Amino acid sequence: MVYLSDLGYNDDFSTAFDALCLTDCVPARVIADYGGYLKVASPEVGEAEVAGALLHVSEPHELPKVGDWVALDPTNTSRAIIRAVLPRSSEINRKAAGTSGNRQVLATNVDIAFVVQALDFDFSPARLERYSYQLRQSNIEPIFIFNKADKELDLATKMALITQLGVPFIIATATIGAGIENISAMITQAKTAVFLGSSGVGKSTLTNALLGVQQQKTAPIRESDSTGRHTTSHRELFILPGGGLIIDTPGIRELQLWGEEDYLVKSFGDIELLASACEFRNCSHTKETKCAVVEAIESGELLASRLESYLKFKHELRTQTFAAASESAKQKKLRARRIKKATQLDEKLADDSDEWYGL
């Protein structure tokens, strides 16, 4: 039998739920998103949809996502109704596709984030730096899984690059179960982990290996360039035999950054430390004299590609911040209109009711 605690429910979520004072509701966790509806566990599994009132007053990133704890009204005759979303302990974001400054929430209430890369054509230290920043922005330390070790002939060279990143990692070959025990040991009772990465890197194969059954669809990839198809079309949370939980996600083609520039220090502490020795406080690390960062590159202490990523991230985050501020002002106006319309509708319904009863 599954209990709420097996799904990660704890005292903090319980306190937040009680504070809502929604007597007709029960706590539930969102375990899958199918677009038109959600699958929830309370702990019984069923379908749910978001209440119209919640849709009216919420921004897209505030609506229920996989991993969220919600207040669920099960009294509806068809699908249960989600009345509220409990405060999140963590959320993994990225900038939504397009030119707006909107953010997209990939998963919530996550304790461990596994970034999966294949040791073939998918291998990209630059992309790993992106994930490292984005997860640390969410106060989640990334753990890298380098899959398909059996496909890589020059493993020593890539291992040298991996070691330079200074992050925990696991070498795996999911198809034969190599590395699975190491991954499973990290997902302890009631802890929630998530797999992130491109299509075709083996996230669903890893999920199936952890579950011990073929739960997630997998498909062969093109051997010429290791391009994979999006066999996972939605996000879904599973309870593992050992008691932990794993969220499998669709492949991410491009991870556009979302966050604050100040968090760069968590991912680029080496550059920030060098920058403190620059002659000019506002040094751009490009053309100034006596720049400690440039000197470190010239001496071989720092890779030029590392500085290139740092400067690119800085520019991207500043551009995103400006776009987000502009978009936020627009959204505030739209939200005010939605709330006004909802209030007017409630008042009209009340007036109609009074008239009906002759008041």
How much is the pLDDT for 193?
96
List the domain boundaries for the chain.
Answer: 4-85, 91-248, 260-359
Query: Which pair of tokens denotes residue 40?
Result: 């929830």
How much is the pLDDT for 222?
47
Q: List all residues 6 or more positions away from 77 whose beta carbon is below 8 Å from its beta carbon.
A: none
The CATH number of 91-248, from 3.40.50.300, 1.10.357.10, 3.30.365.10, 1.10.10.10, is: 3.40.50.300
For the domain made up of 4-85, give the CATH fold. Answer: OB fold (Dihydrolipoamide Acetyltransferase, E2P) (2.40.50)
Fold equal for 4-85 and 260-359: no
Query: Which pair of tokens denotes residue 151?
Result: 């496909």
How much is the pLDDT for 322?
64
CATH class of 260-359: mainly alpha
Provide the angle, in degrees to the nearest 10, between the axes of the packed helices 155-164 and 125-137.
Answer: 30
How much is the pLDDT for 245?
96
* Residues of the chain with confidence (pLDDT) below 50: 221-228, 230, 353, 356-359
The vertex-55 CA angle with 49 and 59, nearest 5°, equals 125
Separation between Cα atoms, residue 119 and residue 158, nearest integer Å = 8
How much is the pLDDT for 230?
46
How much is the pLDDT for 78?
84
Largest CA distance in the chain: 88
Residues 111-148 have pLDDT tens digits of 999 999 988 777 888 888 889 888 988 889 889 999 98
| Helix residue ranges per DSSP H, the chain | 11-20, 52-57, 125-137, 155-164, 180-186, 203-211, 264-267, 269-275, 292-299, 304-356
Separation between Cα atoms, residue 292 and residue 277, nearest integer Å = 6
